[in-house]
Amino acid sequence: MSSADEIRDAQRARWAGLSASWEKWASIILDQLGPVGAAIIERLDLADDQRHLDIASGTGEPGLSIAKLVPNGSVMLTDLVPEMLEIASRRARAQGITNIETKVCSGDDLPFSDATFDSVSVRFGYMFFPDLAQATAEFARVLKPGGRLCAAVWVKPEENAWTTIAMQAIATETVVARLDPDGPNMFRCAAPGAVSALYEGAGLRDIAEWDIDLELVTRSPEQYWEMTSEHVSLVAARFSRSTSRRGSGSGNT
């Protein structure tokens, strides 16, 4: 079992390596994940002067969309990886968004005072924290009384063909290690009720879970393969391991 510091270091290196690909493929990724961002925004019930915290913001979503909806408020974008937040800042400037700040930090160790934010979002970041309960306790701590937390995680691999097709293709060419179900990976929180249990453990109330359908649209099978192998954490990790094992020397991360 890796220590929290080892997990953070590994995640920092992995996502720093993926950041250029997330920028390169931004328009396809944003289209694919857009319905999840929209569902988060709907549940947060935003007021225009809201003070919002976006955790694991990556290249900026859903934090940047929220910033546009709270013109008299502000959004704090946070991520473990500075390279990701640099992209988010560039995207904010390009869209004329000025009511944001960025802060490099880990989701399970937030540098903010108690009861600072009206709302917190975490889109596809939860699964990568070293300690999920500690991270949830941090979200609850920085929320004002009555504030809302909304997070998105992936359901099980069998229901995510867009990732598993690529993973299975790699597995036909090389031996791949089994996923550690308790380690950081995109399917770690897939079990129904897993996130609700964390929320309950942190003393949150009025908890609900629901499914959102997503569609990944690429121009061609070749583009699907290229973008998936370059930016999906699990696929990129397997691909780089398998290429180095075969000695081709050109991993994609």
Ligand X SMILES: C[S@@+](CC[C@H](N)C(=O)[O-])C[C@H]1O[C@@H](n2cnc3c(N)ncnc32)[C@H](O)[C@@H]1O
Sites of contact with ligand X (CB under 6 A): 8, 11, 15, 33, 56-59, 61, 79-81, 84, 106-107, 123-125, 128-129
The phi, psi pair for 74, rounded to 5°, reads -155, 160
CB 86 to ligand X: min, Å: 12
Tell me if 173 sits within 8 A of 144, measured CB to CB.
no
Minimum Å distance from CB 227 to ligand X? 14
Closer to ligand X at the Cβ: 84 or 198? 84
Q: How far is the CB of 225 from ligand X (least distance, A)?
A: 19
Check the CA dihedral 41-44-50-53 and report its sign.
Answer: negative
CB distance 39 to 212 below 8 Å: yes
Q: Identify the CA nearest to 60 among candidates 37, 27, 85.
A: 85
**Residues near 234 by Cβ (< 8 Å), separated by ≥ 6?**
163, 167, 179, 185, 186, 187
Cis ω before 35 (30° cut-off from 0): no
Closer to ligand X by Cβ: residue 40 or 170: 40
What's the gap between Cα 171 and its chain centre? 25
- Find the shortest distance in angstroms from Cβ 146 to ligand X: 24
Q: Which residue's Cβ lies closest to ligand X?
A: 58
Residue 247 beta carbon to ligand X: minimum distance, rounded to whole angstroms: 30
230 neighbors 14 (Cβ within 8 angstroms): no
Smaller CB distance to ligand X: residue 176 or 236?
A: 236
The tokens describing 56, both together, are 């694991």
| 58 Rama sector, left if φ>0, alpha if ψ -120 to 50, beta otherwise | left
CB of 81 to ligand X, least distance (A): 4
Which CB atom, from 58 or from 73, has the smaller least distance to ligand X? 58
Identify the DSSP state of 145.
E
In the bound state with ligand X, the residue whose beta carbon lies nearer, of 174 and 231, is: 231
- In the bound state with ligand X, the residue whose beta carbon lies nearer, of 206 and 211, is 211
